[in-house]
Amino acid sequence: MCGIIGYIGKQKAAAIILEGLKRLEYRGYDSAGIALLQDGHFEVAKKAGRVEGLIKGTGAQKLAGTTGIGHTRWATHGGVTDANAHPHISSDGRIALIHNGVIENYAHIKKFLLTKGFTFKSETDTEALCNLIAYHYQKEPAAPDSSRFLESVRKTLRHIEGTYGIAVLCTDCPAEIVAARKGSPLILGVGDGEYMLASDVSAIISRTQNVVYLKDGEIVHMTAKNFSITTLGAEDVSPVVDTITWKIEDSELNGYAHFMEKEIFEQPAALENTMRGRFSEDGSTAQFGGLNVSAVDLRQVDRFHFLACGSAWHACLVAEHLIERFARVPVEVDYASEFRYRNMPLGNGTLFFTVSQSGETIDTLAALREAKRKGYKVLAIANVVGSTIAREADGGVYQHVGPEIGVASTKAFTSQLLVGAMLALYLGRMRDMSFSDGVEYVKALKGAPDLVRQALEAAPQIKAIAQRYAHYHDFLFLGRLALFPVALEGALKLKEISYIHAEGYPAAEMKHGPIALISEQCPSVFFVPSGEMFNKVVSSMQEIKARKGKIIAIATASCDLPAGLADEVIRIPECHEAVLPIVATVPVQLLSYYIAEELKRDVDKPRNLAKSVTVE
């Protein structure tokens, strides 16, 4: 979850690295640091807190040198202190290292190194890795320094248990960087007379659009003139250079106060991009070019199994409802973090989907590998092209919503809902959904962007509601059927960015326990759809009102709510049931955002969170 960047070339590295760190800060913002090589020694600046504090508090931007590495940290081992900030320097002063991941056997390594005279200044697992590289560097026989440097890293990594994305400098090799990955993303940027490393393309897109996605077990050795990639077993790897299609402007605020706000309002365009080119010519079904599963094979599937974490898990719950409703195939949804530790029976006709915006979520990646280990085909729904999950899956669907910078997922979530709805259509049309029903479904999906635009028009009203409710300490979010997962998502959003306690429940479950929480100090947010669930939801609302609970209703346009039942009513347009979860999500995103803004929270960098969860 930490952010890594490295630079080697002709330009002064400090400004380039610090700019990259600012773009990576959503991956971790407990501390930040930078190390540059200059005249055979390291110039280091690091500090607990944000990148801006590093710049103002240490003068990091003034450091000299054209080769360097930088890091922004999400703390795992050790508290948030200057000493625990990266980069770490080996106790002999020869090696500097930054690291994303967890070294599981660091305590054993540290114990060994203490017997060899190495000392430690931090509480981190990373410092043990840094000193172990220095130990192997000392032991390497006399050889050209660069070869010695590379081999010391290679030998060290063979002893490591856990995950890592690392970038390493050596004082004896003033114009070289060695980097490697296992379980944590790392990308090589190929520029004009320069090379860069990053854990996310957003950090390097301003300088190059040509990248190499490193795979697990690969090591890259960079100089200012060239690079080479090998495996841990010292086998040569032929690099594949990909081109990033989005521009630097896509990761700018462009006048919005926060990335979360920008990304909420980008959702109509994001949904259009997700759908583009994915409907049949006759307008009766969806089509996907990258599933790599034939229609014949899909018809043999008797169960779909979705694996995800966080907001993506909520999107899978909606997909479960829609696929079972329209394709009449059973669906199982698992937390990816739990799946590989369970010993559940799996039928031969099961097809897996993994869902992850970043395509790097470590728990989801581990679940994917476990399913494949058991012999199952696994497809992926991901937003980041070239991500590990996208590469390791047997096929899948790219979301194409562009970079999502805000830690709390918004446009990626609604895009995942849309992909799930399109899958339900695609699978349904393979089975017993009629042509006319398919045409109606496609028409509804194509209208989703405009419906979301209409829902966004309620932003001023929702902002006023948020200001009235911002100082409550508990919220309940309640929905039925496919809107229950949206209730879960609404509660998660409020918790993530405002730090207010919130829970999501099926509305009918209130009387089975949670109703004990109801009071004038605990508002309830209800999703109120028209149709068969309307009277049921109204009945649950009346149970809340009878106990003096405040109610915020998110209701479709035709719902005729009893007078005085809801304290606040937010209207959303009527829509097809496959589109309703997408449209209903918008008001709770806005409500959470405006409450957090009213409370002056750091919306894009909420405490204790990071964008891409790459450690267990």
What residues are annotated to the active site?
Answer: 2, 611
Give the other-Cβ count within 10 Å of 516's Cβ: 9
Specify the 3-state DSSP secondary structure of 538: helix
User: Which of 601, 556, 605 minimizes the C-alpha distance to 581?
Assistant: 556
Specify the 3-state DSSP secondary structure of 170: strand
Distance, CA of 77 to CA of 2 (rounded, Å) = 12
**Token pair for 319:** 């997909």
Q: Are 396 and 291 in contact (CB under 8 A)?
A: yes
Q: Across the strands, what pairs with 571?
A: 555
Distance, CA of 185 to CA of 384 (rounded, Å) = 11
Q: Across the strands, what pairs with 334?
A: 307
Specify the 3-state DSSP secondary structure of 546: coil
Strands 173-182 and 164-170 come out as antiparallel
Q: Are 379 and 394 in contact (CB under 8 A)?
A: yes
Distance, CA of 22 to CA of 44 (rounded, Å) = 18
Q: Which residue matches tokens 């829509």?
A: 575
Torsion on CA atoms 346, 351, 356, 361, rounded to nearest 10: 40
Q: Across the strands, what pairs with 89?
A: 96
Q: Are 2 and 199 in contact (CB under 8 A)?
A: yes
**Token pair for 6:** 């490295």
Contacts of 352 (CB under 8 A, 6+ apart): 304, 305, 306, 307, 368, 371, 376, 377, 378, 379
Kindly state the DSSP code that residue 230 receives in the 8-state scheme.
Answer: E
Helix 483-498 with 580-598: angle, nearest 10 deg: 20
Q: Are 371 and 378 in contact (CB under 8 A)?
A: yes
Helix (H) / strand (E) element for 95: namely strand 95-100
Distance, CA of 382 to CA of 63 (rounded, Å) = 38
Strands 195-198 and 187-190 come out as antiparallel
Contacts of 340 (CB under 8 A, 6+ apart): 366, 367, 369, 370
Q: Are 352 and 319 in contact (CB under 8 A)?
A: no
User: Which of 76, 130, 165, 106 minimizes the C-alpha distance to 616?
Assistant: 76
Distance, CA of 15 to CA of 110 (rounded, Å) = 34
